[in-house]
Structure 1
């Protein structure tokens, strides 16, 4: 049983009746599910995941006025539910406290994206890191009779507005060409192996993010970036190339092979940019396409930002 399945079964066994019997007048306001931090919210949990911040539990999200009126009482009722279910006992670290239980909808979203609802402007969207959006749109909502929690969630799941998507993509292209296509080999030729290692890391992070962006999916926390690529539709081959790149040591004898892998990744990205009609040219040096993409951004405030800028 996965963490998400455990959460839903625990809610159905105990949570649903708790809400219905103890808070019948508030049942219509309560959204329930499991969303947020933790591998179980991404569906990536395994036996190793169970040693911390794992076990039976679920989230209850209430509108602000209902939370003020009844949140404390509902949290107390939640804490009286059985601690063990299906042989699993929830194990929480200090850092992992507060991932399940009763929440104010506005506060829940503010914790992860800094605002109480979906962003209203391009600047607000620009300031939201992919990983934060991946976290707050992870997991599953089991029930939401009012629909307030899901309305915000569904807005976020629509992905970045076009101008923000393009700007973030440009930033990834710029970093990929700067760190991988330009600086990596130069560092190796100078014998600056530590710098080359860092350049390769910057390239890999930017390339993985570009793949997620081109799939219109938010990239998760770095620990799960590669795992999540298995669930993407486009550019599946890039994961294998990047894994080869990461696993090769930065030594003189590996330089040419790593340069080849970097170029192969960039070629794959460029071809996908062509296929999606984001760029027209066939130059494999990604930097040379950045200004073409920038010109397609309608919002002048976003278009005037430096090509490499992004809050990440």
Structure 2
């Protein structure tokens, strides 16, 4: 059994009946969101060595949190079973410890936590509301964290606030999305000719490294064009394989990675860029006429990525976003995990870049 269904059963069989008995008047939401491979269905036996098992997050209003949360965590410790469906309910504490804060509380003895929605949003995104988010705030949200918040499952939702927050964060606003597409094409534009140039001077290892970087950029563009959040690197390939665009792209990307000749490598990548362009034109946003050919006067096969950048930038309606330098949102600028996972640091960095 995968973790999300284990936790759903834990809520249905254990937590919900207990809450109905001990606090029948309580209005709450119950979910499993925030972190864990099980949220996106990629957990397996290896996943069980940390932060895996029966887990349920209960979301309360701020007044009810103060009245109930810490008492209920303590009370559940006294009555919770040691195991559920053969899995221990005690905390596997690497790297996430039990919740403990002003509006968040859990215990080592079990996987039941209580939060306010505001506290979870603040910890996860450095905001306490998802109403009226600015474009800059959106650009400071790591896709892997957006995916973790909007994936998983909601088991119960009395006032729908949690579901509404997840819906509002379901995907980027159109102009932020177009900006990210423009910036992703810019990443491709910057390095696509280097696969051939490095190969031409006999640097096969350098050519392979650049090709691999471009494969990753193509994959992340695939997520953008399918309007799906990309997971972090461990699950990037697994998530990519689920995208509709993966089928036409994968054979080109595999050829680019496996080829022993730089000329074949860059041809494979150019074919992948062309697939991206066709997909972009098919969905009817930022259309441009793709042209594959030599890189100016040099004999390296590339696509007219600058035209793709301009097409996406021109489609942006918001004047402030449109005038931004084409450098990217948070996870287009850096893939450093401590930065992507620290929401306050993420927002501070984006504010510095735009100031």
The answer to which of 219-228 and 276-285 deviates more is: 276-285
Residue of structure 2 in register with 1:72 after alignment: 70
Could you tell me the TM-score, scaled by structure 2's length?
Answer: 0.80
Long gaps (5+) in structure 1? none
The answer to which of 167-176 and 92-101 deviates more is: 92-101
Q: Are 2:218 and 1:207 aligned?
A: yes
Cα deviation for residue 89 of structure 1 reads: 1.7
Q: Are 2:274 and 1:262 aligned?
A: no
- 1:123-272 alignment, distance < 5 Å: 123-157=136-170, 159-179=171-191, 181-193=192-204, 195-246=206-257, 248=258, 253-272=260-279
Note the alpha carbon deviations across 1:112-136, whole angstroms, 9 max, x for none. Answer: 2221222522222122121111111
- CA-based RMSD: 2.0
CA distance in 2, matches of 1:156, 1:94: 27
**Structure 1 consecutive aligned stretches of length 4 or more whose deviation exceeds 3 Å:** 77-80, 190-198, 243-246
Paired residues of 1:185 and 1:196 also in contact (CA < 8 A): yes
CA distance in 1, matches of 2:209, 2:177: 26
Cα deviation for residue 202 of structure 1 reads: 2.9
User: Where is the helix percentage greater, Structure 1 or Structure 2?
Assistant: 1
How many residues align structurally?
304
Residue of structure 1 in register with 2:85 after alignment: 86
- 1:105-124 alignment, distance < 5 Å: 105-118=117-130, 120-124=133-137
CA distance in 2, matches of 1:92, 1:54: 7
Cα deviation for residue 193 of structure 1 reads: 4.8
* Alignment counterpart, residue 47 of structure 1, candidates 45, 56, 81: 45
Cα deviation for residue 178 of structure 1 reads: 1.8
The alpha-carbon distance between structure 1 residues 236 and 113, as it changes in their structure 2 partners (threshold 3 A), is farther
User: Where is the strand percentage greater, Structure 1 or Structure 2?
Assistant: 2
The alpha-carbon distance between structure 1 residues 301 and 88, as it changes in their structure 2 partners (threshold 3 A), is same
The alpha-carbon distance between structure 1 residues 83 and 300, as it changes in their structure 2 partners (threshold 3 A), is farther
